[in-house]
Structure 1
């Protein structure tokens, strides 16, 4: 799973839990700036969860007080559930429209009342999916290379240090703790931070022959922050070490050539 998808799925789970939905739901995401892309979740809403969601749906104006009272009477002390199933669209997409809702219970219930429950749940699903999808595009933009991937270039008499944004590695973020993921998501959505993966290259000569190169993942930058505020010298360490090794090899080869000549 790539970096953006990991962040989006974590963000979706956080939103579900905050709204009273179970953390056990399976979350899918597919965001590539195409129509129909977004986020969806599948699983089962048990009796306990449904009862907990009723006041939430009422507070949002999705269910009337009388309907909530009737549903509590219908659902309490029964084995009722709502299944969030995949439909045929889920083979290609992930969004609210790929989810089908089905009510199940061991007790007979008025069809009209159950339909009102499913309609309210559908409205809440649409809202969750829409909000997370919108945030998801911001998360994608924050971790993937921008349209101007060249960050900066510094030149001396003999050397050039160039820094460019590159595609983040597929691995690495899976090892982050949930707290680290939440901190990253909050920085992106609340502070407009970016977490780019940077390629650092040290070269020399007219043809920019490479001496050293390194890749530094998830470097945090805040809007309008000057380079000196986020690019520490420690980020150059691996590229400089490689460059020094290559320079030493060239000097040794040159010294050997002089002795041979």
Structure 2
């Protein structure tokens, strides 16, 4: 499976480089550039929304139905489902979802949806309008079937709505749980060191780094690759800081960041290493110190 193209940050000093890298003897090296740059990134949010919509659409919900985040800063991974289905779309959906239902309930649900087919009835899903946000995830999505009582009994209508609501609740709960795995894959692990190579007085180090990725909602195919990589294949999606250290000077000479990069368990460094970032790092050293040691 192809992986997302990693987008190197270039040869400029990476933002938020405030920690002092360790020397080989355990001491620390001075960091000359400590400017902090605040950046806004929505990769995690884009992954969460994409995951929720993928689960819905693969289950048979039409493309007109989507999800929205409830409060991403407070409860990342909480979604509400929104959209409108015509009576004919409702019949198609109910028939599809009932394929996994056992017993007579599937027949009753399908029969109810069939009686609505061709009528102006519409199924509405929308976020709960409450402040503060609902305390429970199932309360974040509202579902209604206005005017359906003209063709269905109250019990038939309630049963059909409960069946559909239960399905959306299960999808939202799956996304909520998977959001924790996605977030964990995007931040440094307990053992961030990925590579260390020495060339005379030079040391090249690659570490997982607390930095932003740059995928957004427009990168649909790449988001799908990340979701498959992290949730199915246990991949990491944390940016990597590449640092070139001159140990004779006890200085970091250059650094760059590899972003939008999937790393799978057990694969060699060469499979994920972005040589464009390495070239940028080396060019920075040449440009800032053309004479060299």
Q: Same fold (TM over 0.5)?
A: yes
Q: CA 1:220–1:58 in 2, change beyond 3 Å: closer, same or farther?
A: closer
Q: String of CA shifts for 1:199-245, please: whole Å, max 9, x gaps.
A: 11112236742211111112221112233443354441111111122
Higher helix fraction: Structure 1 or Structure 2?
1
Q: Does 1:6 align with 2:46?
A: yes
The structure with the largest alpha-carbon Rg is 1
Q: What TM-score, normalized by structure 2, do the two folds share?
A: 0.73
Q: Residues 1-261 of structure 1 correspond to what in structure 2 (within 5 A)?
A: 2-29=42-69, 37-61=77-101, 63-73=105-115, 75-87=116-128, 88=130, 91=133, 95-105=137-147, 108=150, 109-169=152-212, 172-174=214-216, 177-205=219-247, 208-231=250-273, 233-248=275-290
Output the CA distance in 2 between the equivalents of 1:176 and 1:82. Answer: 28
CA contact (8 A) 1:13 1:27 kept: yes
Gaps of 5+ in 2: 1-40
Q: CA RMSD in A?
A: 3.1
Q: String of CA shifts for 1:32-60, please: whole Å, max 9, x gaps.
A: 89878533222223222211121133223
Q: CA 1:138–1:36 in 2, change beyond 3 Å: closer, same or farther?
A: closer
Q: CA 1:160–1:83 in 2, change beyond 3 Å: closer, same or farther?
A: same
CA contact (8 A) 2:197 2:203 kept: yes
User: Aligned pair count?
Assistant: 249
Quick check: 121-130 or 20-29, which moved more?
20-29
1:240 aligned counterpart, secondary structure: helix
CA contact (8 A) 1:38 1:94 kept: no
Q: CA 1:35–1:169 in 2, change beyond 3 Å: closer, same or farther?
A: closer
CA contact (8 A) 1:214 1:238 kept: yes
Higher-RCO chain (CA-CA 8 Å, sequence separation at least 6): 2
- 1:256 — aligned with what? none
Q: What TM-score, normalized by structure 1, do the two folds share?
A: 0.81
